[in-house]
A and B are shown apart, each in its own frame.
Chain A
Amino acid sequence: MRSNRQRSSAAHVVTAVLLLLFFAVLLIWPICQVVSSGFLARGGGLTFAYVGLIFRDPVLVRGLVNAISIAVAVTAITLALSLPLAILSVRYEFRGRGVLNSLLLVPLVLPPFVGAIGMKMVLGRFGPLTQLMGAPPLGIDWIGRFRVAGIIVVEVLHLYPIMLLNLQATLANLDPALEQAAANLGASRWRVFWRITLPLLRPGLFAGCTLVLIWSFTELGTPLMFDFYTITPVQLFRQVLEVSSSPLPFALVTVMLAASALLYLAGKVALGRSSDAAVGKATTAASPQRLHGVRGLLAACALALLFALAVIPHVAVIITSLTATGQWYKSFLPAQFTFAHFGQALVDDLAFPSVMRSIEYASLATLLAVSIGLAAAIVIVRSSLRVRGLIDTLSMLPLAVPGLVLSFGYLAISVSAKRRLGMHTPRFLDVQEFPVVVLVLAYAARRLPYVVRSAVAGLEQTPRDLELAAANLGAGRFAVLRKITAPLILANLIAGALLAFSFAMLEVSDSLLLAQRSDYYPITKAILDLSQRLGDGIYIASALGVWAMVLLTLTILIANSILAKKMGAIFRV
């Protein structure tokens, strides 16, 4: 079979150089800027005072400890949930498996911090959970007593699909021959699992655990919504207003970045990463074992139970959006329902413009991400340049680098520019005044991995023959790209673009940190603002959340129908 790679052309080289420049500006420069800003004294000169201050402040240290503890807990619980489910859903066949498998991805459709709005209602002192527990007169202060547990639960319920997709993909690719050989030699099921299956799963485990660990470690929205402030991401958020006058926020970001890197390394040491050869790609697929009767029912119930738990935040947000203002008090369900909040969201001065802003930013970011992503995919799959591995890594880097770090990086660049240029600072660099450009670039950078992975998957499935034939008939490179390559991978590009668009619409960290003017608020910042507003704010926020949920659900369904089994690759480092 002809290789999909070709001898690198000048076009590939130019594209690669431009890509490296793009990554340098959008990824490397912000990270370097934020790190250097943490060591720069206000009067000039190097200082370790601010980093030192972090480790001398018990509150900031506790914030780091809490962030790491919650991240580890979320990862461990997610793994404990996802591993048996992955095995169940890949290795066994039972009634309802297909539908339940799709439904398990539902948590992806709602950002956890929007789900936290719903969970706050469910876990209210006199909320539905208290009513189920017999409604004692003084209620039960779930959030007051179990605030951290609430955060962990919400994050687990949102993040387990990431782990599940990675494990399912790895399991599906395992060669059953090794397990069969071990079983033939007399090893028990448990021994086979422990000594053969689990080690072979390490790439999937590593990928899933890394993603969940770092996302949870840097999650801002959920603890913010639960009013939990002794955690590093929220401590950073509360310091964003002081970036112009104090290096302390940047020092804290640097420490957070170092902690992320250490967590990543710890994961790598614990779980390692086997080479592709060692994983043993399946030459034949393992046939799922059919579960009949009660066993099949129990398997379906296990998946259904997780699904039921996972959708509690979604259901709660939907009910909140339909609750008449102030009419959910000391009852399992609201006393009065209304659709008025959806109407109010349309005329609200904050809500509706934020929807339009988000559509605008996400559209621009998606266009940019698709252009860059396609170029990167072509270099990665079609060229034989040595830097293609580096480009692959850099395009996936946004999945591993916390969004908070990048956001503060852009802020650091803006502050530095204002210090140097003063009144002559170009508007697009003044994030506090005009955040649009930086928001669009930040969204594009953060969602680039989805487009790259989708495009790479498409290109790998598409043989080069048609492209070569067109070139032989005299078509230029751009004509080949436009008339042959792009149409062949169009479905993949659409999937990647839709995922990039929808997740950019609901981007949290960048939006909360960079959008400081209400007329530029994207939808997530508006939701946070509304959730704290007197009167009907939380209900309008929930209405926005429901709309976002529907949009993301459709996106996931479309992407799933195009990418199918490759869907897991979107969320793999």
Chain B
Amino acid sequence: MMRRYVLILLFFAVLLVPVVLRRFMVHGQSSAASGLRLVIITPDNQDIRREFARAFDRWHREKYGVGVTIDYRTPGGTNDIERQLISTYAVYRDRAGKLPEDVPADIDVLFGGGDFSFDQLKAIGLLQPMHLDPALLRTAFPSSALAGVRLYDKNLDASGAPAPRWVGACLSGFGIIYNPDLYQTLQLPPPRTWHDLTDPRLNGFIGLADPSHSGSVAAALMIVLQRAMADAEQELFTTEPRFVTMPAAQRKKDPEYQAAIPRGWKRGMRDLTLIAANARYFTDSAEIVPTDVSRGEAAAGMAIDFYAHVTEDVVGPARARFVLPPHATAITPDPVAILTGVKGERLELAMHFVEFVLSKQGQLLWALPVGAPDGPTVRALLRPPIRQDVYADRRGWESLGDPFTEAGNFNQRGEWMALFTDCRMIWVAAWIDSRDELKKAYASVLSEPDPTLRAALLEKFSDLPIEMKDVAAMSAQRAAQPPEQLDLWRARERIRWAQRFREHYRAVEERK
């Protein structure tokens, strides 16, 4: 009986230990929610969320005299957030797909994710115009684009003044994170280009995230495709100089030009398929890739710059290094926006948040080291600011580089990005849904002893039975679907294409 009472006492002691110990560890921090409340949905990690919550609260107190508590919603990656927002607002749409004027908004701000994703949400009316101070916009964005990539949405209000539905909060670059120790064991030179990840010796050593869940990896995959398309365009310009001076509208209608770009797309898809074949897995969370690379579970993977920098910071350069493929990566904005339906005081508070993000204080928070004035308090965020003027003084964060000088001449094209949504579905169908058949076919190809035949088989293996025009046609069909049929149509298309890819892999395996 005594033993039972001792156990019960121990139980309550263990239950309450965290509560008691925390009081000793957290000094002078108010745990009570202060002042106003702002609801933000974000794919950003814990460090970013914590630092911006603290810094915005302080900034708002100083400027407006009242603190703010940020209530974060974190359902997952960029694509997960996109799906949730679409799904949440879908409940309020009428039969014609329109949202009512007084649609309720549970969430105020969307913070972080890819610019493409924000454009998608903007296109379906989920982001509202922000009437920001024109002076702030001019100061934050002396130029509206960086290497051809818009830094904020070009929407104008009725008077012609900028009323962007999203603005860039910081910059992102996509590259390769690799484990030098493991690369040395594999006797491979460090990767420099995306094509380096297609090496068959990396079979089972590449970490990849599922592009239907991770916006950052989906963006990286699109960059590989766009680079290949841009290369094909460049080759055409070299062999047919007349295209260089031809007006763009006329060029696009030329049959030779129209044939060249899809050839580039196909080449890009080949590389991506070989990278996918080397993949050890497709994880839901893009953060797992750099962690696995640093632990040696994977030798390399695609990653967004700041994930890679954080990992490198933790384990050191012997186990994690990051490389931006030269002229094959785009520096893109990581935006912030206010959701449709936010009104009154909530809208005002949301605007204050955007104002803070674009302020010098907000911008420096991304880059400064821990302990610097206006810097982070626990861990450096290691992300390039989007305001060009803050790069004038980079003391303490020189290692982040200056994307305004480093951005190469590689531009992402808006008209090519239009393929993005349906490319994602094709990637999932080709590499994830058909994974078993893909792995068997790849293993069978790699086991071919004759090098010439093996190379030919690899060529055949990576030549998926799909053309760029098929993806364009899919986009048109998707746009024509009634909203209540869209999920069924998407599922059926995915099943159809996955079946086609399975047949292709089986034919390769059976040498047909």
Contacts and interface: CB of A to CB of B under 8 A. Distances in A.
B404 interface: no
B388 interface: no
A196 to B, nearest CB: 38
A295 interface: no
Contacts of A134: none
A330 B296 contact: yes
B291 interface: yes
B204 A144 contact: yes
Given A58-B495, A529-B74, A558-B8, A244 B90 contact: yes
Interface stretch (A67-75, A210-218, A418-426, A471-479): A418-426
B7 A561 contact: yes
A328 B296 CA distance: 11
A534 B487 contact: no
B50 A349 contact: yes
Given A241-B80, A242-B487, A551 B71 contact: no
Contacts of B488: 49-50, 53
Determine the main DSSP class of B at the interface with A. Answer: helix
Contacts of B498: 58-59
Interface stretch (A77-85, A148-156, A286-294, A511-519): A511-519
Given A241-B80, A346-B18, A561-B4, A141 B433 contact: no
Nearest to A230: B435
Given A137-B185, A329-B296, A533-B45, A498 B11 contact: yes
B280 A245 contact: no
Task: Count chain B CB atoms within 10 A of each CB in A356, A359, A433, A532 and give the residue with the most.
Answer: A532
B238 interface: no
A347 interface: yes
A538 interface: yes
Interface in A334-360: 343, 345-350, 352, 355-356, 359
A246 to B, nearest CB: 4
Contacts of B314: 325-326, 534-536
A503 to B, nearest CB: 14
A229 B213 CA distance: 12
Given A58-B495, A229-B284, A248-B491, A43 B95 contact: yes
B310 interface: yes
Contacts of B288: 227, 532
Contacts of A230: 435
B11 A355 contact: no
A329 B319 contact: yes
Interface stretch (B20-28, B113-121, B157-165, B245-253): B20-28
A489 to B, nearest CB: 15
B377 to A, nearest CB: 11
Nearest to B72: A518
Contact of B46 (A53, A245, A517, A533): A533
Interface string A259-299: 00000000000000000000000000000000000000000
B283 interface: yes
Given A42-B484, A138-B185, A534-B307, A519 B87 contact: no
Interface string B431-442: 001010000000
Contacts of A432: 88, 106
B153 to A, nearest CB: 25
Nearest to A136: B185
B294 interface: yes
Given A144-B204, A547-B18, A433 B11 contact: no
Given A325-B314, A532-B288, A534-B290, A241 B281 contact: no
A554 B21 contact: no
Contacts of A538: 291
B482 to A, nearest CB: 8
A43 B91 contact: no
Given A423-B104, A534-B291, A326 B315 contact: yes
Interface in B461-477: none
Interface string A234-257: 000010011111101000000000
B22 A422 contact: no
A557 interface: yes
B125 to A, nearest CB: 15
A125 B7 contact: no
B505 to A, nearest CB: 13
B297 interface: yes
A436 interface: no
Contacts of B435: 230
A328 B315 CA distance: 10
Chain A contact residues (Cβ within 8 angstroms of B): what range?
35 or more
Interface string B231-253: 00000000000000000000000
B327 interface: no
Nearest to A139: B296
Contacts of B319: 326, 329
B3 interface: yes
A422 B45 contact: no
B163 to A, nearest CB: 26
Contact of A532 (B87, B104, B287, B502): B287
A325 B483 CA distance: 48
B325 interface: no
B46 A350 contact: yes
Given A350-B46, A355-B18, A518-B73, A535 B491 contact: no
Given A329-B295, A562-B4, A244 B91 contact: yes
A362 to B, nearest CB: 10
A126 B4 CA distance: 44
B11 A558 contact: yes
Contacts of A359: 15
B148 interface: no
B285 interface: yes
Interface in A537-557: 537-538, 547, 550-551, 554-555, 557
B75 interface: yes
A124 interface: yes
A41 interface: yes
B200 interface: no
A286 to B, nearest CB: 29
A125 B292 CA distance: 10
Contacts of A245: 86-87, 90-91, 487
A386 interface: no
A349 B49 contact: yes
Nearest to A498: B11
Nearest to B306: A534
B4 A558 contact: yes
Contacts of B311: 534-535
Nearest to B318: A329
21 contacts: A42-B485, A53-B492, A56-B495, A143-B297, A227-B283, A241-B76, A242-B83, A244-B88, A345-B18, A347-B26, A349-B50, A432-B106, A517-B72, A518-B73, A519-B71, A519-B72, A532-B287, A533-B46, A533-B287, A535-B311, A537-B287
Interface of B: 3-4, 7-8, 10-11, 14-15, 17-19, 21-22, 25-26, 45-46, 49-50, 71-76, 80, 83-84, 86-88, 90-92, 95, 102, 104, 106, 182, 185-186, 204, 210, 213, 280-285, 287-288, 290-291, 294-297, 307, 310-311, 314-315, 319, 379, 433, 435, 483-485, 487-488, 491-492, 494-495, 498-499, 502
Given A423-B104, A518-B74, A519-B72, 19 more contacts: A42-B485, A50-B488, A59-B495, A125-B295, A138-B186, A238-B284, A241-B75, A241-B80, A242-B487, A326-B294, A329-B295, A346-B25, A355-B18, A356-B19, A517-B71, A547-B14, A551-B15, A554-B14, A561-B7
Give me the 5 closest cross-chain CB pairs, A-B, nearest first. Answer: A42-B484, A245-B90, A245-B87, A244-B87, A246-B487
Interface of A: 41-43, 49-50, 53, 56-59, 124-126, 137-139, 141, 143-144, 227, 229-230, 238, 241-246, 248, 325-326, 328-330, 343, 345-350, 352, 355-356, 359, 415, 418-419, 422-423, 430, 432-433, 494, 498, 516-519, 529, 532-538, 547, 550-551, 554-555, 557-558, 561-562
